[in-house]
Amino acid sequence: MSVFLLPAAVAALIAAIHFFVGGREVAHPLLRQDTLPQVVTLTHYFCWHLVTITLVGLAGAFVYASLAPDGRILAVFATVAAGLFAVWGLALVLWQAQRHRDMPQWMLFAVLAASGAGALAA
């Protein structure tokens, strides 16, 4: 089902943004700071890599769904996960009175969830 190639591409693009831009803007400065205890810094860095792995996994789930008839359940999971990430990201921005331009991650996940939902509806 080639309809899942669009959300696969969106997930891959988000993974690339996370890896390259997030690495430069978030991960590298995190590792260079010395204000937080090392265990806190390394825990944050570990979590950053968990997000990288998750994003690649979401892309892989949509690719598999595009190739295999039994992959639809993975597309459902990936779509729901992206939707929940979007909701949490938006809630965090609103709860902590952040600016959307400083914390835009929820928007990327909303696009992924919408593209996944569109593919599932097709």
**pLDDT confidence of residue 1:** 67
* Length of the chain measured in residues: 122
Show contacts of 20-27: CB within 8 Å, 24+ apart.
Answer: 22/48
> Which DSSP letter does residue 4 get?
G
Q: Rounded to two decimals, what is the model's pTM?
A: 0.90
Q: What is the pLDDT of residues 69-88, one digit of tens each?
A: 899 999 999 999 999 999 99
Domain that holds residue 11: 2-121
Contact 30, 48 (CB under 8 A): yes
Q: What is the pLDDT of residues 20-29, one digit of tens each?
A: 998 898 899 9
Q: Please give the mean pLDDT across all residues of the chain.
A: 94
Residue 66, number of CB atoms within 10 A of its CB: 18
Structurally, the chain folds into a number of domains equal to 1
> Left (φ > 0), alpha (ψ -120 to 50) or beta: where does 37 sit?
beta
